[in-house]
Structure 1
Amino acid sequence: GLLQELQEKSLFEKWILACQDAHRPTFESQLHPYVSQALIGHFNADVGHVSADEIRTHAQQILDRWQDERRQDMMSQTLSQARSNARGVTGLRRVLRSLEWGEVQTLLVGENLQGHAVECTRCGHIDAHLVSFCPICGHATQEIVDVGEAILPWVVRRDIETFYVKDDPEFDKVGNIAALLRFRSEKVQPISMSAADDLEKAGAEYPGRLRRYARR
């Protein structure tokens, strides 16, 4: 159907259904499973007479409720996974590492995040330890005052689902930052110095990191 075609073209990720309640079961029964999974809520409306303002009001209420439930669910999953040392990490140092390694699926950032870090002026490595020189490539670092802002390019570039958490004592205890992971990286295998040089010349994203694990 049309909705499935639009979804396949990535024209929407989630959607809300507005129709008369009497017609909703018939309509929903005809939806493709993927389209049905993307449905986050519905409200009763006569589409021939409902105003644009009414649609926006109902839709915003549904969206706000869905986001609150999603945020709470993601936080619960993340903290549970972190406690069992599975697909979850908490604290600035661990989250930065997972972001750098491309492991993060969902990022949770607390309103009270107060972390400080440094960023390498050459390779872009961000480190929670306030070192003067990058531990990856050896170049000078510069201090970052707002870590939340500094990691935004990674979040946008990698399309990471992100939620901001307000007034949550449990989240405060874990450092006001956490991440649910797609996977945990396996132990890095050593590579030769020549291979590290070749990767650096080819434009590897963090060539210094590869050199760090090279055999000497």
Structure 2
Amino acid sequence: MKKTLSLVLTLFLTVGLASAQSSGSEAKIKATGNNNDVTVEQVRGADNNASIWVSGNQNVVSEYQRGDRNQVLLEVAGGSNDAIRSKQMGDDNAIYVNFRGARPAPVFQSNDVDKNDFLFLQVGKENIFGGAVAGDGNSGQFKQYGTGNTLLGDTDLDGDGVDRYDAQGLMIEGHRNTLRGLQQGRLNTGKIMATGNGNHLRFQQKGQQNYGEILVTGDGNTARVTQGQ
């Protein structure tokens, strides 16, 4: 039987509705086990923060933020999760993903994080997305629409001079993974790094004055960067 954990920030707020609308809200969910349905929605105001940690198999994870200067940290330790979705609508938002079975660290700590399906979407300007996926047979895509979006280099998300996570782009480690990326707009920047065999990477940038890069190490990989209209 599937268990549901849901946090809808228009209804349940850690600091009260009036405060959340003006100064932001913080949501944290930790789910351990299998067949969980995890949802976080933060749909009012700005400066919202969400943290989701899932350990197990065959889970469904959904996160949605609407507004500006929102942040989400999504960590997955497990495999065969049915759908992992994160959507942000607004400006200056940040998504960080860690599919490694371990806390963020400068060196990959690969555990069995296999056969996950994921989609990350950002619509706005100067949004940031990055992180790491370690495992085999994962399939996913990211999409950024707007101007000045970044597939991560800078991890100082709140401007205090401290890097939150070790991520210099989107990192893939493992075999037979499939990743599709899209940036649509102007002045977007992206970097994908992959280590392993039989991975399929496609990075498309639509618009002008964009920069894209894929670095691949291993055998039997395919990598493609497409730029233009």
TM class, shorter-length: under 0.3
Structure with the larger helix share: 1
Tell me the TM-score normalized by structure 1.
0.20
Tell me the TM-score normalized by structure 2.
0.19
Structure with the larger strand share: 2
Higher relative contact order (CA 8 A, sep 6+): 1
